[in-house]
Chains A and B, each alone.
Chain A
Amino acid sequence: MALRHAGANPARGNAMAYAILSLISAYCAVPFFWAFLASVDGNASLFLKWPEDWTAANYTKVFLVEDGATWFFNSVVVVGCVTLLVMVLGGLGGYALSRTQAWWKRPFLYLILLIRVVPPPALIVPLYKVLLLANGAMQSLMRAVLPADWYRPAMRIFGFVDGYLGIILILTAMQLPLALWILKTFFDTVSKDYDEAALLDGASLTQRIRLVMLPLALPGLAAAGLFAFISAWGDFLMPLIFISSPELQMLPLGLFRAFLRVNTVDYGFLTALAVLYMIPSVVAFGLARRFLVQTFGGGVKG
């Protein structure tokens, strides 16, 4: 509309529109541009400037001098597990919620949305209490079944507080409601005839899910997984509260703690870390985009 109202001369109107859009784009892109320039600048500062001395030293520092590799690994493991869990549980749950006719369906869907509505900081104390209790139980269990020298590494993985399992479950729980809604709505659009045709073709429940529903649900799963990944990847609060061991540290906390160091701020190192932190989100989006736009058609009448 803006273009059409721009005046008698459409070319001029177009030029104006492009100029304004370019300005907005530049405004959005500058922080990223600065982050990238500073990350390859041997002498980076708070100000946007062209690097005089191009270097990859900031990046090598992330991995060789600092614990960047550990942070990166932890983030990938935790967020990867969260995304996978959200896709599996969201997919199965969304399918069930779409197909069931139970009276509690609507109330249940609104109820789980409450998890998203409550501000996460308000959840910290009760959540911590619950997880501490679970952690105590897990500790007793691990002490009972494992040799003494396996106890610490096992708790790193299965601990509810300061362990992978706890942070994975919390982040999954936070991301699941949205995924359930996305996938429930998605499955609503997938004709029930596919289920029934597969049923008549003799497919078992697992075959129906694996061979028919899973391929049909890929766009929905991609959308749900992408949102879960981006949201969990960027989550700062939960790792801050529930992870204390340096070897379990995740990327956002590594970045934050590097920023808080008392001696001078190393902008080159910080921006290199920030650029690395951004890459997986962009890659995830790039991968999911293909599925997001891919819509299967033609199986049932349009």
Chain B
Amino acid sequence: MSGLTLDKVTKSFGGAQVIHGADLAIQPGEFVVFVGPSGCGKSTLLRMIAGLEQISSGTLTIGGKVMNDVNPAERGVGMVFQSYALYPHLTVAENMGFSLRVAGRPLAERMARVRDVAETLQLGALLDRRPAQLSGGQRQRVAIGRVLVRQPGVFLFDEPLSNLDAELRVSMRIEIARLHRQLGATIVYVTHDQTEAMTLADRIVVLRAGRIEQVGAPLELYRNPANTFVAGFIGSPKMNLIPAEVVGSAAGRSLLALPSLGGAQVELPQPAPEGAKVTLGIRPEHFSATGTAGFTLNIDVIEHLGAESFAYGSRSDGGTVILAAKGRDDLIPGQPAETRFDPAQALLFAEDGRRLVV
């Protein structure tokens, strides 16, 4: 179990810079998830930690040692690939013991270690099978087992669940969380799925276009996103980001006009420069019948998911407003409805997307 730091780490392919000065410190035993849309550089960053991509500049340390130019195998990291990359010509046991075999360890030691790990992962009965004879979830476990056998200081997961069906994804997610608790291992985990990030991470690193947008605990990012990108990316359904204009500001309060919602005005208990164009962020679940601020919204659709319901209304600029509709009989598709929210829970963002801090 080792910690890991990135100090102004960059990556360029030819002339194109794809990682722009990433700074990050990961504590030993921490579960950190890199999340972001495709092409944001999260996998590249992970591969740089693994040693599969060169670091163009900056410093990577693992367990306190600079690892920029150290061989992947000697960095004390193990990686679970998105494709699993199990050697198809080897059995499960041979796959798991491969690293010990190439290190020249005796067969008895290899088998003992493999059996140990197989027991942890409930793979004992499958040791003589080949990867082709396994289900997706079993392959996933073997891929994890292969890394476990090496006892690395840091585990790297590159979108490990994206090839599994929805049901299996949930159970593997729980299994990975359990494994983390059991081993106390340092884990760096890449995903584009914010639900995976929210449920697994001690801390989430949100990336966009090669830059770290925000780092924080899941609920911290949820409650205090640093900008509209993080606000929109974390949370499901997405936070409503409604264009607004500050029409009045006094004594730590501000009055916003919402041109895309019929010019409705809402008062927020936080200051904002008068005349500024801002973005009002409201989570769907923060709408309620009892809120003190509100506007009229044309309801288009109501989705009933069972435990939750969401209503979708349209703005005049083509955007959508999503609100939690559980137990709201007053929301009827095709009809306007008065929607209210608690202004204390609303967030304000400046025109460039950055959060206006209270």
Contact = CB atoms under 8 A, between A and B. Distances in A.
Given A196-B52, A200-B72, A202-B73, A298 B86 contact: yes
B83 interface: yes
Interface size range of chain B in the complex: 20 to 34
Interface in B271-294: none
Interface string B221-245: 0000000000000000000000000
B98 A198 contact: yes
Interface in A180-214: 191, 193-194, 196-204, 207, 211-212
Contact of B102 (A196, A207, A215): A207
A197 B87 CA distance: 9
A299 B71 CA distance: 24
B89 A298 contact: no
Contacts of A202: 73-74, 99, 102-103, 150
Contact of B84 (A201, A212, A301): A301
Nearest to B133: A298
User: Which residue among B85, B89, B98 has the maximum number of chain A CB atoms within 10 Å of its CB?
Assistant: B85
Nearest to B79: A200
Nearest to A295: B88
Given A298-B132, A301-B83, A201 B146 contact: yes
Nearest to A199: B72
A296 B146 CA distance: 20
A226 B73 CA distance: 37
A202 B102 CA distance: 7
A201 B73 contact: yes
B89 A193 contact: no
B150 A201 contact: yes
A299 B72 contact: no
B163 interface: yes
Given A298-B130, A301-B84, A201 B99 contact: yes
A111 B223 CA distance: 61
B42 interface: no
A216 interface: yes
Contacts of B86: 197, 298-300
Given A296-B132, A298-B133, A201 B83 contact: no
B85 A191 contact: yes
B85 A194 contact: yes
B78 A298 contact: no
Interface string B132-165: 1110100100000010001000000000000100
B98 A216 contact: no
Nearest to B98: A201
Nearest to A212: B87
Contacts of B146: 197, 201
A296 B88 contact: yes
B257 interface: no
A297 B139 CA distance: 12
A211 B94 CA distance: 11
B41 interface: no
A193 B88 contact: no
A193 B130 CA distance: 18
A293 to B, nearest CB: 15
Contacts of A299: 83-88, 131-132
User: Which residue among A201, A212, A215, A301 has the maximum number of chain B CB atoms within 10 Å of its CB?
Assistant: A201
B83 A298 contact: no
A197 B88 contact: no
Contacts of A300: 81, 83-86
A216 B136 CA distance: 21
Nearest to A207: B102
Nearest to B74: A202
A203 B74 CA distance: 11
Nearest to A201: B99
User: Which residue among A196, A200, A215, A298 has the maximum number of chain B CB atoms within 10 Å of its CB?
Assistant: A200
Contacts of B85: 191, 193-194, 196-197, 299-300
B117 interface: no
B300 to A, nearest CB: 38
A204 B73 CA distance: 10
Contacts of B52: 196, 199-200
Contacts of B50: 196, 200
Interface in B27-61: 50-52
Contacts of B163: 301
A43 B10 CA distance: 84
Nearest to A210: B102
Identify the 4 closest CB pairs spanning chains A and B, nearest first: A298-B132, A299-B88, A202-B73, A300-B83
Interface of A: 191, 193-194, 196-204, 207, 211-212, 215-216, 296-301
Given A202-B73, A299-B88, A301-B82, 18 more contacts: A193-B82, A193-B84, A194-B87, A196-B72, A197-B86, A200-B72, A200-B78, A202-B74, A204-B102, A296-B88, A296-B89, A296-B132, A298-B139, A299-B83, A299-B132, A300-B84, A301-B83, A301-B136
11 contacts: A193-B82, A211-B102, A212-B87, A296-B89, A296-B132, A297-B88, A297-B132, A298-B88, A299-B83, A299-B85, A301-B83
Interface of B: 50-52, 72-74, 77-79, 81-89, 98-99, 101-103, 130-134, 136, 139, 146, 150, 163
